[in-house]
Amino acid sequence: MNLPTLLIALAVLAVFVAIVARGIHNRRAGRSSCSCGGSCGHCGCGELCHPKKS
């Protein structure tokens, strides 16, 4: 493997790791990627966005 190929592979890997880390951070912060368009009562992941309060 030559140097330019290695550098490009490392750059792609860094972007992938950053995306995954941001997703994990958002999930732990209670934010999710669920997008129900404003009618969360009919959304399959409505409980992810708005957990039931007991």
Q: Above pLDDT 70, what percent of the chain?
A: 56
Whole-model pTM: value is 0.57
What per-residue confidence (pLDDT) applies to 25?
A: 87
Is residue 44 pLDDT above 80, yes or no?
no
* Domains of the chain by residue range: 3-49
pLDDT of amino acid 7: 97
For the chain, how long is the longest CA-to-CA vector? 58
Q: Is the distance from CB of 43 to CB of 36 less than 8 angstroms?
A: yes
Residue 37 has pLDDT above 60, yes or no: no
pLDDT attached to residue 23: 86
Q: Which residues 6+ apart lie within 8 Å of 1 measured at CB? A: 9
